[in-house]
Chain A
Amino acid sequence: MSPELSGGHPTIAGSGTGKPATYALCLGDDALVLAQRLGEWIAASPQLEEDVALANIALDQLGQARSLLGYAGSLMEPSRSEDDLAYFRDERDFRNVHLVERSWALPGGTGSDFGVTMARMLIWSTYQVELYSRLTSSADETLAAVAAKAVKEVDYHRDHATMWVLRLGDGTEESRVRMQAGLEAEWPYVEELFDASYVDQGLVASGVAVDPSILREPWTGRIEQVLAEATLTSPEVPPARGGGRRGIHTEQMGYLLAEMQHLARSHPGATW
């Protein structure tokens, strides 16, 4: 591995220079890591039909990640490809939020939980709809174009999650309890989505980046509407510690990266 790719804290050109390299990296890492997590449902979903639905959603997220990481890499000095950024960075250099990196298990559990998955997808896709719909009018043409394509995709992801949350919440007594448990598990990781400290305020002022803190109110409005219709309640739990935007991750992140990066690192340049 070349020295500039091997861990540590690479200098990211663009921060403070009006170029949104770090910003695109954060958004791209979110999408990449979620796509990798969603892949775990392939061949493991409750239904064959759901396998395909979740795989489609994962591929949409991967597509967004490719565009965003490719763009972020092009702004770096020296420039890096999307594969360099996906496969040859270490855990501390990833900038994704904790919501997307954790396993699908309930706290203390081991197996993937569908209620957790749908709770997270509702939280996440509602956030992404609010984010991308504003980013379409970014002063940065590339970010605006990526957002314009992505907003239709994530609107469907939100619809898919909403359908399931309504059916499980307003379903049987057991499905309601398990859907609520999923919400309780994911809720501590909501706050990090709206933490604006990672976004260069200069980029917000120049209309390039969206200030995530302004997404909080419309997000809450949409979520509360779905939860009320699903006979569920917004959990009242303290927020988790956060830190993903600074490269501090949960213990599950390392396993995810090991699986995602193993092949590319063991066989550099491999194609198939």
Chain B
Amino acid sequence: MPEQSRRDWPLWEVFVRARRGLSHVHAGSLHAPDAEMALRNARDLYTRRQEGVSLWVVPASAITASSPDEKDSFFDPAGDKIYRHPTFYDVPEGVEHL
């Protein structure tokens, strides 16, 4: 029964690396019966237009996400700590790539 199997296939999160030197970026999700098929589905769904040179698939169930309810305690305390930004240093002359 297709309806049944559709519910049974687990969800996978897809990460695509656009080119060498960049990190993998979350592109979306898909359903697949196992990791190998998930990788192939990801190739078909997310790299059709040469978007990537490398793919990761991760079971969505393996991801522990922060909760929207915890947003205040998680992220707001960083709001007034501007000294964490690297704006208080004098950059010596002649330093490149900074």
Contact = CB atoms under 8 A, between A and B. Distances in A.
B41 A53 contact: yes
Interface stretch (B29-37, B65-73, B83-91): B29-37
A163 B44 CA distance: 14
Contact of A56 (B30, B34, B36, B44): B44
Nearest to A171: B33
B33 A53 contact: no
A56 B9 contact: no
A141 interface: no
Contacts of B31: 47-49
A159 B9 CA distance: 20
A178 interface: no
A19 interface: no
Contacts of A246: none
A49 B33 CA distance: 11
Contacts of B34: 167
B26 interface: no
A269 interface: no
Main secondary structure of the interface of A (DSSP, over half): helix
Nearest to A46: B2
A37 interface: no
Given A46-B5, A47-B6, A163-B37, A56 B48 contact: yes
B40 interface: yes
Contacts of A163: 36-37, 40
B48 A49 contact: no
Interface in B1-53: 2, 5-6, 9, 30-34, 36-37, 40-41, 44-45, 48
B40 A53 contact: yes
Contact of B41 (A46, A49, A159, A167): A49
A42 interface: no
A167 B37 CA distance: 10
Nearest to B36: A163
Given A47-B31, A167-B33, 8 more contacts: A46-B6, A47-B5, A47-B6, A48-B31, A49-B45, A52-B41, A56-B48, A163-B36
